[in-house]
């Protein structure tokens, strides 16, 4: 964890901006301090949250452009057969995002174009990763985070076309269920090397304690948790009056505790693990519904960071296998 603080990079700064956008801008300014707008604390918190949100916009555009240029010049994510298509759609996405960041007057339909191009880039990142020989678990976790983004864009398109409202509702529920599945499975799928017994025990203990505390908070202040889920993470937490509602609330609590444990464990690792940790922060804080440009930037940067981390793990596993084909560490001992 301290390594991540001592040696930050652009992705780490963007992850910090995304976290500040969630906590200070979406929650503190619009939920907790909305009735205290005239006070100094509310004024300062609102300004800091607004600044971090705009900083996330600018950094997101820069990072997306840098990642796309480097990925198209090398063979990190996209194979050669995809480079022309990715470069065209990527340029279109960067132009639209930059226009929104600079508050240029653009038609309302350009917001739909931004989300569609965002979904295409997410699909290309996922397809490019499946084309590589990286660990299957990393391909799975990237897919679990990518499919909800694609489904949300598809339901938005269906809604604008006036197609079946039932299809739109079912698509949104399916996207949310897949996203929660990715959160729940992240401790098993996102790992750079096998965990030792003490590390596994610490992760299980931390997850159990976190789940217990969050379950107690949800049981006592369920209305507050509904507000936080709706305004912060952009999903609706249904009432927990019946057994089904309680099971759904428990699943939500377990999902966010799992992704938090996975993020902290990744941030405590090497450079590749820290990059994956930053990606989890970006993907989690972007929320389930894209309502602003910075959410698309956070999710796209997070998915690209996760894919680059998977590619780095592939190179690391190749090196370890070449040094020691048997798969043990005895060959490295003096």
Residue 98 to residues 59, 101, 191, 201: CA-CA distances in angstroms? Answer: 11, 5, 34, 46
The verdict on residue 242 lying in a domain is: yes
Whether 62 has a pLDDT exceeding 50, the answer reads yes
pLDDT in tens, 243-269: 787 888 888 888 998 999 888 888 887
Whether 1 has a pLDDT exceeding 70, the answer reads no
pLDDT in tens, 289-334: 887 888 999 999 999 999 988 887 765 544 333 333 333 333 333 2
Report the candidate in 170, 149, 148 with the shortest Cα–Cα distance to residue 159.
Answer: 170
Structure tokens at 72: 């198209």
- Which residue reads 């305004």 in tokens? 231
According to the model, what pLDDT value does residue 179 have?
92
The verdict on residue 268 lying in a domain is: yes
Count up the domains in the chain and report the number. Answer: 1
The verdict on residue 106 lying in a domain is: yes
According to the model, what pLDDT value does residue 216 have?
85
According to the model, what pLDDT value does residue 147 have?
94
The verdict on residue 14 lying in a domain is: no
Residue 325 to residues 134, 321, 329: CA-CA distances in angstroms? Answer: 17, 5, 10
User: What percent of the chain stands above pLDDT 70?
Assistant: 84
Highest mean pLDDT among 223-227, 266-270, 282-286: 282-286
Domain extent at residue 180: 67-320
DSSP reduced 3-state for 138: helix
The verdict on residue 176 lying in a domain is: yes
Report the candidate in 185, 188, 299 with the shortest Cα–Cα distance to residue 233.
Answer: 299
Whether 126 has a pLDDT exceeding 50, the answer reads yes
Per the model's pLDDT, the better-predicted residue between 62 and 268 turns out to be 62
Per the model's pLDDT, the better-predicted residue between 144 and 290 turns out to be 144
The verdict on residue 101 lying in a domain is: yes
Q: How far apart are CA 62 and CA 192, in angstroms?
A: 27
Mean pLDDT confidence for 161-171: 74
The verdict on residue 7 lying in a domain is: no
The verdict on residue 301 lying in a domain is: yes
According to the model, what pLDDT value does residue 318 have?
46
Confidence band for 8, pLDDT divided at 50, 70 and 90: low
Give the range among 54-58, 88-92, 210-214 with minimum mean pLDDT: 210-214
Whether 18 has a pLDDT exceeding 90, the answer reads yes
Confidence band for 36, pLDDT divided at 50, 70 and 90: low
Average pLDDT, rounded, for the chain = 81
Report the candidate in 80, 92, 99, 84 with the shortest Cα–Cα distance to residue 119.
Answer: 92
Whether 123 has a pLDDT exceeding 50, the answer reads yes
Whether 40 has a pLDDT exceeding 90, the answer reads no
């Amino acid at each position: 964890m301290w390594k991540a603080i001592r040696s930050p990079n652009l992705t780490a700064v963007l992850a910090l901006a995304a976290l500040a956008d969630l906590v200070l801008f979406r929650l503190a300014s619009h939920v907790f301090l909305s009735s205290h707008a005239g006070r100094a604390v509310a004024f300062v918190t609102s300004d800091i949250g607004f600044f971090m949100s705009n900083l996330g916009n600018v950094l997101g555009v820069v990072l997306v452009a840098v990642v796309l240029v480097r990925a198209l010049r090398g063979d990190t994510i996209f194979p050669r057969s995809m480079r022309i298509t990715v470069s065209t759609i990527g340029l279109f996405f960067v132009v639209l995002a930059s226009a929104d960041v600079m508050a240029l007057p653009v038609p309302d339909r350009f917001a739909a174009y931004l989300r569609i191009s965002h979904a295409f880039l997410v699909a290309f990142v996922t397809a490019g990763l499946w084309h590589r020989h990286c660990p299957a678990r990393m391909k799975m976790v990237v897919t679990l985070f990518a499919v909800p983004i694609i489904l949300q864009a598809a339901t938005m398109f269906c809604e604008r076309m006036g197609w079946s409202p039932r299809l739109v509702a079912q698509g949104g529920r399916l996207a949310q269920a897949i996203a929660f599945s990715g959160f729940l499975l992240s401790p098993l799928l996102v790992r750079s090397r096998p965990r030792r017994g003490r590390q596994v025990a610490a992760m299980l203990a931390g997850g159990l304690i976190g789940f217990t505390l969050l379950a107690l908070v949800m049981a006592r202040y369920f209305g507050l948790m509904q507000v936080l889920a709706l305004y912060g993470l952009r999903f609706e937490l249904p009432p927990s009056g019946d057994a089904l509602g309680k099971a759904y609330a428990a699943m939500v609590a377990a999902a966010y505790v799992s992704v938090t444990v996975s993020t902290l464990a990744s941030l405590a690792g090497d450079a590749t693990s820290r990059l994956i940790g930053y990606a989890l922060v970006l993907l989690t804080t972007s929320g389930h519904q894209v309502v602003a440009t910075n959410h698309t930037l956070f999710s796209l940067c997070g998915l690209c960071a996760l894919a680059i981390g998977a590619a780095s793990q592939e190179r690391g596993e190749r090196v370890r296998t070449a040094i020691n084909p048997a798969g043990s560490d005895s060959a490295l001992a003096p």
